[in-house]
Amino acid sequence: MSFKDGIPLLKTLDDEEDGSDDDFSVELASASRHKWGRKHLLFGLGLGLVVFVVVALIVAVAVPVALLQGGGGGSKAGGGSTDASETSSISPSVTVSSFSISPTPSPSSTSISPTPSPSSTSISPTPSPSPNDLNSYKPTSDDRQYDFLVLSNSLRVVLISDPKSNVSAASMEVAAGSFSDPPDAEGLAHFCEHMLFLGTEKYPNEHEYSNYLTAHGGGDNAFTSTQETNYYFTVDSKYLEESLDLFAQFFISPLFKNSSVADEVHAVNAEHEKNLQSDPWKLWQLLKHVSNPQHPFHQFSTGTLSTLNNSNLLDLLKTYYSSSYSANTMQLVVYGKDPLPTLTSWVDTSFSSVPNRHISPQTFAATPFPQEYSQKMVFYYPVADTNSLSLYWQTAPLDPYYRNDVVEFLSRYLGYEGEGSILQYLKSESLAVSLSAGLEVSADSFSLFLVGIELTEKGLGRVPDIVKTVFQFISLLSSRSEYSDEVTVG
């Protein structure tokens, strides 16, 4: 089992933001030594707004936060001191004024120019195919059969019949996650995910579900995200019917035994402690840490012995489950080798008893990085001996545009590694060794897009120039008519 969020920073860092939009000068904030003996340095970074124009989509964005990790045996970013009691600043060789960057070649003999783009598409999200006609939209090479149905309890189901497969699978998506954690029980959604595996009224043995799958060539897992929790399994196709019935009981009659609570809280805590020496988890929680404290994104969500140390934990768990798990807010996918009518019968028999509590998924209109929580730069020491720069943009929600390939466009052009790319230029200057770009978070009110760059030692000392290079490339894309449109979203 896993959790999409990271590990907690154990000490709050005070932000002493410069507040200027005219340069990259930063003031070293007060820092405190972390539990694992590393120092985390928080910087304010004055970055203006930039218009990000992609595939007929204009999204006004700021850099909510830039996270820089410096390894290399105590390397110092920009030549500054690692002593948290001292004050330092970084002065780049190039000044950026409110990011009014003209789309000209970068300050180097190497020109940054994008590769040709596909034709511009409409700003309106492309409608999804009718779920009742899935087979007419599949590729001609796909000989699997599909069906969509809604059970009497409003549970939505997609069925996939693949006679050639000897392995079957199922996945249930629940429209509730860590954003729904109460402040006095951070990690409750993740804890609920764990507890569902520990017996149901029909199958009371704690490990009956997992043992059955393992004994029949399969396995199971689950993960808790911000606004969703997903459960899934695989099994030898001959045993799919029984596996579905075991699985369905998670959502019908879990036991939530008091005798299981203490052990499972320790299991959640062990998962947290495993992440303490993981740089990706540290980075993720650091991003959450500098977000708006009033937004649920800010909360620590894995769960620990401390955050789940609540005398009413079992009551909180039952309340959360009954208020968040409902057939009308779930979606089930079943993949098997049996014909569609057989799969339909099995699903109807096992899942029609999932209660429909007629609830509405919780929504969150606010965003975690309003203006006052944007434009920051954070320096921290990683566990691994590596240097990297992570740039995050908060945008309008991008999920509605998944059929327009907006994220694919962003990832392709910012993460491209060939001639004329950001990475090709940075490599030519010996500033970076790799670059990746992609969607980091997607929620109902915002998305977070990440550009991650692995830096050389030289690049660690020229972070402001690298940031400017990224924004020059964005500005260049924005200025080209084949990439842009006049419509603003979000």
- The predicted-structure confidence for 30-74, as pLDDT tens digits, reads as follows 222 222 223 223 322 323 223 233 332 333 344 456 777 766 443
Q: Which residues is 395 bridged to in the sheet?
A: 447
**pLDDT at residue 128 in the model:** 57
Residue 356 lies in a domain: no
In CATH, what number is assigned to the domain containing residue 265?
3.30.830.10
Using the predicted structure, report yes or no on whether residue 271 has a pLDDT greater than 50.
Answer: yes
Q: Give the type of residue at 122.
A: S
Those residues with Cβ within 8 angstroms of residue 224's Cβ, 6 or more apart along the chain or in another chain: 2, 3, 4, 177, 178, 189, 190, 193, 301
Number of CB atoms found within 10 A of residue 121's CB: 17
**91 and 220, same domain (yes or no):** no
Number of domains in the chain: 2
Between 54 and 151, the higher pLDDT residue: 151
Residue 334 lies in a domain: yes
**159 and 78, same domain (yes or no):** no
**46 and 171, same domain (yes or no):** no
Given 323, 351, 379, the domain boundary residue is: 351
**321 and 255, same domain (yes or no):** yes
Query: Structure pTM?
Result: 0.75
234: helix, strand or coil? strand
Residue 6 lies in a domain: no
Given 321, 351, 381, the domain boundary residue is: 351
Rounded-to-5 percentages of helix, strand, coil across the chain: 30, 20, 50
By CB neighbour count within 10 A (0-12 exposed, 13-18 middle, 19+ buried), where does 432 fall? Answer: buried
User: Which residues are tagged catalytic?
Assistant: 193
Q: Give the type of residue at 230.
A: N
pLDDT category of residue 76 using cuts at 50, 70 and 90 = very low
Domain that holds residue 304: 139-351
**149 and 292, same domain (yes or no):** yes
Q: Single out the residue of 302, 300, 274, 268 nearest to residue 198, CA to CA.
A: 268
DSSP assignment string, 331-394: EEEEEESS-HHHHHHHHHHHHTTS-----------S-S--GGG-SEEEEE--SSS--EEEEEEE
**175 and 296, same domain (yes or no):** yes
Given 351, 381, 405, the domain boundary residue is: 351
pLDDT category of residue 113 using cuts at 50, 70 and 90 = very low
Using the predicted structure, report yes or no on whether residue 27 has a pLDDT greater than 70.
Answer: no
Residue 131 lies in a domain: no
148 in Cβ contact with 131 (< 8 Å): yes
**441 and 470, same domain (yes or no):** yes
State the Cα–Cα distance between residues 134 and 148, nearest whole angstrom. 8
**382 and 305, same domain (yes or no):** no
222 in Cβ contact with 193 (< 8 Å): yes
State the Cα–Cα distance between residues 95 and 118, nearest whole angstrom. 33
